[in-house]
Each structure stands twice: as C-alpha cells, then as structure tokens.
Amino acid sequence: MREDPGAGMLSWDETVFRDEHVFEIDHVPETFNHRESQLRSLKYALRPAVRGSRPLNTMVRGPPGTGKTTAVQKLFGELGTQSGVRTVRVNCQVDSTRYAVFSRVFEHIFEYEPPSSGISFKKLFGQITDRLVEDDEVLAVALDDVNYLFYENEATDTLGSLLRAHEAQSGARIGVIIISSDLSLDVIDELDGRVQSVFRPEEVFFPRYDVDEIVDILRGRTKRGFHEDVIGAPELDQVAEFTADSGDLRVGIDLLRRAGLHAEMRASRTVDMEDVEAAYDKSKYVHLSRCLQGLSDPERELVRVVAEYDGERAGAVYEAFNEETGLGYTRYSELVNKLDQLGVIEARYTEIEGRGRTRSISLAYDADAVLDRL
C-alpha cells in the first residue's frame, strides 16, 4: 500500500477527483483511441450526408463495452455541426416500439415532444418527413441497442418506415445506423424480406479491447479524472485485469469511479488495492444494472419470481408469475425469451424420464445481486 502524498487525510472540502464526470458510463471522451478503422468505416458511411445525399445504412456490432455508442456519438457530434444535416440517436432500450422511436425523432427535429395521445403514427411520420423536405435536411438516425426492437417484434416495422420514407415523401433522405451488442442475434435474417431488400447495410465490427488497449484507455481517464498521484500503476493494472476478465470497458470506467469514492470514504488521498477490490464487487454488475434499468414492470416481476423459483421448471415459474400479474402464458413465454436473450436469465431445455423435454429457468447472476438492483 502506497503512502498518502502530503500530510494527513482528506479534509471535508477536498476530493481525489479532478473531474468525476470523466468516469460516467455515457461520457464521450475528447480522445478516442484504438478504434481508428471503425471510425474510418463509419465516416465513409456518413460522408454522403455532408453532400446532401442519403447516408449509407450501417450495421454496427460488437460485445458490450467496446466503444460502439461512443464512436457514433463522436461522429454525430461532428456531423451535427454541418448545415443541412440532422442526427438523432435513439436508445431502443428505452424507446422499444416504432411509435416511441419516431416520437424521439420528432422531439429532436421539432425540439418539443409530440402529444402523448391522439396523434396517429401516420400523422407523426408525415410531420417528420414534411419538415425534413421543407428544411432540405438529411437525417441520420442511430438505433442504439436495436436488439430491443427485435425482442419486442418492432424491428421490421421501425426499419421499414425509416428506409422507405422516400417512397412516402418524395425528397426525404434518411440513413440508418443500427447498433447491436447481441452477437447471437442475426439481424438481417430476423427482418422481413421486404426490409432486407432495402437495408443491405455496411458492416462495422467492434472487437473486445485487449489488455494493453484497456490500460491505455483507463490511464487516459485517470489523468483527466483524478488528481495527480491518486492512483498508482499496480492499482491501475488490477483495474485493467478486472476489466479484461469482464470484456466490458464500462466495468473498468465504473470501477475507477467507485474506487475513488471508496478512497474518499476512508478520507484517503490515494486509491489503494482495497478500494479497487471493494469497488469491483459492485462494478462487475454494470451490464446487469443497465439491463434491469430498462425492464418493464411485468419483466421485473418475472425476474423476481425466477429468483424465488431459481432452477424450477418453466411451468412452476409461470404459475407463480400468473398469480402475481394475471398475464397469460403467451406473454410469459415472450418475456422469458427476451430475458434469456438479454442474458439476465437462462432458459434451458432438458430431458426428464417419463416427461420428455421440459424447460428449466434460472438466473444468470447471483440472486442477491439481481434483487438488490431491481
């Protein structure tokens, strides 16, 4: 354990942080290293917008925490300064229906929310495309976490409306970027054939960062986020190791923030190994926390029931879920499939003698960790 620089402990008005916002998960850094080829590919796809043409449709894929959203946000930030171009990023974990997606687009274009009721999708869609043509603007839409649209069976209708906008309104120019962290999802294959025929996206893949890249990125964050000498090389290496094990850079970024807060709780001027290890107990669940945040009430109730009946057959879980919510088996089955695809639960088929195939349902995480975050 390193000695604290200077004398004594932190006073009430002192902090180890130079800029705590640097450690927020959705912070867009000034420098974005180790994704040069992906940025080039995305720029290539978006460049036609600057010339007044429709951007190339693009599919961005990769595991969670590999820089996909950050890359798109950085380029949208640059593109948004160009005249005649409008950019909209939609978080499909929050806006998981076609109407919700277009409501978000409407809000960005008109700078106020559409009425919450009484306006049809056709009218909402028409107002958006009319304004784009009237203002002679190109629209680039990023559907972030597009896998949630697939889980809700909304992807085909949403993409179809965006991609065929020029057919409904002559002169409308819309390009679509879809971002997915679900590598098991075959995006193209899951779309209706009519949408497949007009989508044909460029593909950009974001692999996991290797250990050296993780160390470099986290070192940059610590320089901007912590005061000098707050964290040493051994502690940073341990953070990088935990991050590499998880495969998710967001774990490391969140871990640095929590370790700093833990050091402050001890009134220490430095982050020590005990701070890192204590912080990791919470930071390792970053992906789980983000998944749970976006769940509906019935989905959260199903997670609670699965925690109680962990490992039980699907029928027993359904009976308990139905008693709590009154929802039928069809909706229950849809929710099970969605939570399974999200990696929150594991639904497995097994052979039971005399019964044939049956499905058992269990949590993919420690039950206490899940329940604490619901």
The annotation places the binding site for ATP at: 66-70, 209, 221
The 3-class secondary structure across the chain, one letter per residue, is CCCCCCCCCCCCCCCCECCHHHHCCCCCCCCCCCCHHHHHHHHHHHHHHHCCCCCCCEEEECCCCCCHHHHHHHHHHHHCCCCCEEEEEEECCCCCCHHHHHHHHHHHHHCCCCCCCCCCHHHHHHHHHHHHHHCCCEEEEEEECCHHHHHCCCHHHHHHHHHCHHHHCCCCEEEEEEEECCCCCCHHHHCCHHHHHHHCCEEEECCCCCHHHHHHHHHHHHHHHECCCCECHHHHHHHHHHHHHHCCHHHHHHHHHHHHHHHHHCCCCCECHHHHHHHHHHHCCHHHHHHHHCCCHHHHHHHHHHHHCCCCEHHHHHHHHHHHHCCCHHHHHHHHHHHHHHCCEEEEEEEECCCEEEEEEEECCCHHHHHHHC
For residue 29, the one-letter residue type is P
Unique residue bearing structure tokens 């499909």: 92
Binding residues: 66-70, 209, 221
Whether 22 contacts 225, CB under 8 Å: yes
Say how many C-beta atoms besides its own lie within 10 A of residue 243's C-beta.
Answer: 28
Q: Any idea which residue has 């912080």 for tokens?
A: 279
